[in-house]
């Protein structure tokens, strides 16, 4: 099990879904967490579950000011910042020809822009002791799933940015990697209810025959990428998806 003692990590979207699993598991492994989310109720609840190690910041990740506030909160509360997980991402599913300007803005604002803002805000703190950034990609983007144009485009933009940052910031001992998960969260359960056929197709394509568990299958991969155990890994995409997409 990865030891994250002495680590201070910002997790965007850290109040629900995979983000909540990350907040819980990384704290269990010793890290102090700043969970940033627009969901105030869930955010307050998760902070209350472990007030010594988890603080909550209510904010919209698509605003650059939220990123700056999160970094300030980490330093003010825990004295430093050693890790950043860009997990939050909201988007709409519809055909390319029906995508509106607002639909593109939602996905790029909460996905790509937010990832960039948090990376830029975190950099001055991360260079102080070296650090790790974990961004989130998606198999839907790698495969080009129908109905997911704005989501897929923003996710692949995040992967491109991550590779450039991995190369630019290697000299600062800052590692940047991407995790591409497949997990049965509340959000996926809602998607399953709305598009049951798409869900069946998706579940049947998983070589390990199931959607992942956020705490047991996804959070440990993120913990690994934040820990010293992965000190020689940067610029990579790790597929935590039961073997669905096999990168070469
Ligand atoms: N669940 C999966 O199987 C799956 C598959 C591929 C990729 N992903 C990626 O993994 C990450 C987490 O997915 P999830 O299923 O847990 O998502 P989710 O929608 O269940 O949770 C996302 C969290 O982000 C928060 N959030 C949304 N918009 C926000 C905003 N503007 N500002 C602040 N917080 C905001 C939500 O309140 C929520 O707590 C995302 O990047 C997603 O694209 C998930």
Q: Which CATH architecture has domain 8-240?
A: 3-Layer(aba) Sandwich (3.40)
**Catalytic annotation on 199?**
no
Per-residue model confidence (pLDDT) at position 210: 86
pLDDT at residue 10, as a whole number? 99
Average pLDDT over residues 217-243: 98
- Rounded to the nearest angstrom, the distance between the alpha carbon of 18 and the centre of ligand 1 is 7
Give the residue-averaged pLDDT of 87-108: 98
Q: Which residues line ligand 1 (CB under 6 A)?
A: 13, 15-19, 37-39, 60-62, 87-90, 110, 136, 138-139, 181-183, 185-188
pLDDT at 81 over 80: yes
pLDDT for 246 equals: 96
User: Which two three-digit tokens encode residue 115?
Assistant: 């990832």
Q: Which residue has the tokens 């190369």?
A: 167
User: If we measure between CA atoms, which residue out of 75, 76, 56 comes closest to residue 12?
Assistant: 56
* Average confidence score pLDDT of the chain: 97
Instruction: Give the three-class secondary structure for 56.
Output: strand
pLDDT band per the 50, 70, 90 thresholds, residue 188: confident
Nearest CA to 211 among 194, 191, 227, 226? 191
pLDDT of 1 reads 73
**Residue for token pair 């991407």:** 178
Compute, in angstroms, the gap from residue 184 CA to the centroid of ligand 1: 12
In the chain, what are the domain boundaries? 8-240
CA distances from 67 to 73, 154, 173 (A): 10, 18, 21
Q: pLDDT at residue 226 above 80?
A: yes
Closest residue to atom 7 of ligand 1, CA basis: 138
More confident of the two residues 8 and 203: 8
> Would you state the pLDDT for residue 237?
98
What is the 227 CA–ligand 1 centroid distance (Å)? 23
- Rounded CA-CA distance 97/5 in Å is 49
- Summarize the chain as % helix, strand, coil (round to 5): 55, 15, 30
């Amino acid at each position: 099990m990865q030891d994250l003692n002495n680590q201070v990590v910002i997790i965007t979207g850290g109040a629900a879904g995979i983000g909540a699993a990350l907040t819980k598991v990384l704290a269990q492994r010793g890290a102090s967490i700043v969970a940033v989310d627009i969901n105030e109720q869930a955010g307050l609840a998760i902070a209350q579950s472990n007030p010594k190690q988890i603080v909550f910041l209510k904010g919209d990740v698509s605003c650059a000011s939220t990123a700056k506030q999160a970094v300030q909160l980490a330093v003010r509360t825990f004295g430093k910042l050693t890790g950043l997980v860009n997990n939050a991402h909201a988007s709409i599913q519809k055909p390319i020809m029906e995508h509106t300007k607002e639909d593109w803005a939602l996905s790029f604002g909460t996905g790509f822009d937010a990832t960039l803002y948090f990376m830029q805000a975190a950099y001055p703190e991360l260079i102080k002791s070296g650090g790790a950034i974990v961004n989130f990609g998606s198999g839907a983007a790698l495969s080009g799933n129908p109905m997911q144009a704005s989501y897929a485009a923003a996710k692949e933009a995040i992967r491109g940015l991550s590779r450039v940052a991995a190369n630019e910031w290697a000299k600062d001992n800052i590692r940047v990697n991407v995790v591409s998960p497949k997990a049965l969260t509340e959000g996926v359960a809602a998607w399953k209810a709305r598009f049951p056929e798409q869900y069946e197709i998706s579940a049947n394509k998983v070589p390990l025959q199931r959607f992942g568990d956020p705490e047991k299958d996804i959070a440990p991969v993120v913990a690994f990428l934040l820990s010293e155990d992965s000190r020689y890994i940067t610029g990579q995409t790790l597929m935590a998806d039961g073997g669905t997409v096999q990168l070469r």
